[in-house]
Amino acid sequence: MGAQLTARGVVADRRGSGHVYVPDKAWTGEGKGPLVVAIHSCQSSGPSYFANAKIPWRQGSDRKGWDVSSKRSLVRNGGGDSHAIANMILFAIEKYDLDKEKVFVTGGSSGGMMANVMAATYPDLIRAVSLYSGGAGGVGGQSRGSGEQWGNVVRAMYRGYTGPRPKMQIWHGSADGDTPTSTVQNFPERNYRTENFGAEGIVQGIWAQGLGHSVPSNLTASEQWFGI
């Protein structure tokens, strides 16, 4: 039958559970293998998200040999879902002898919002994020604010942190009712527009013309963003 998605309980300040997929094929890149944390949307589950043909993370795992951990709190170590996911990350790194410098997070819809939350609450655990059709962490949909106001929301999730933060790649459809955008170019594929922001392009926005909620995962582009 080959490798299977396996349920794992997590010991934390709250009840938490996730699923781990360890491919039969060993990691073929340099050093220890990376960890990709795939966070499912609301009204879904880890197995359903993993099996979705539009979310091809299993294909990448089987081809390149990296591990996928999936999870069905807005403050670091607050005992909420972000805390549980952080514990899953630490568990997987130790259990499967993975590279702690190669932890990547993806998710769609509310899973994309949680990916934003993870980047804010545990920036020291995560190297890069590639999220799809997710709202900003800590606020409701269609919220507007200045750069300083958005920065304050993020900084409040891990007060006193001054270290590096993850690279962010954010995908949205121009017809998504949760965003006001309507731009287009043809990269990474037809009717997509990519824009880079910040030093060395550490924040990347990708707009999908005519697509609603949510944008299909693009395994090739997300893997390139992660560097795996």
What is the rounded distance in angstroms from the CA atom of residue 28 to the CA atom of residue 208?
A: 32
Residue 201 gets which letter from DSSP?
Answer: G
pLDDT of 50 strictly over 90:
no
The percentage of the chain sitting over the pLDDT mark of 90, rounded to a whole number, equals 22
pLDDT of 165 strictly over 90:
yes
Confidence at 136, pLDDT banded by 50, 70, 90: confident
Q: Which of 44, 82, 109, 130 is catalytic?
A: 109
Annotated catalytic residue 109: yes
What is the rounded distance in angstroms from the CA atom of residue 196 to the CA atom of residue 108?
A: 20
Set out the domains of the chain in order of their start, with CATH numbers: 5-137+150-226 (3.40.50.1820)
Q: Which residues, in sequence order, are bridge partners of residue 104?
A: 36, 128
Confidence at 178, pLDDT banded by 50, 70, 90: very low
Beta strands in 3-147 (DSSP E): 5-10, 16-21, 35-39, 67-71, 103-108, 128-132
Helix axes 219-226, 57-64, angle to 10 degrees: 60
Residue 67 three-state SS: strand
The answer, as to whether pTM is greater than 0.85, is no
What is the rounded distance in angstroms from the CA atom of residue 188 to the CA atom of residue 218?
A: 9
pLDDT one-digit tens code per residue, 114-128: 899 999 999 999 999
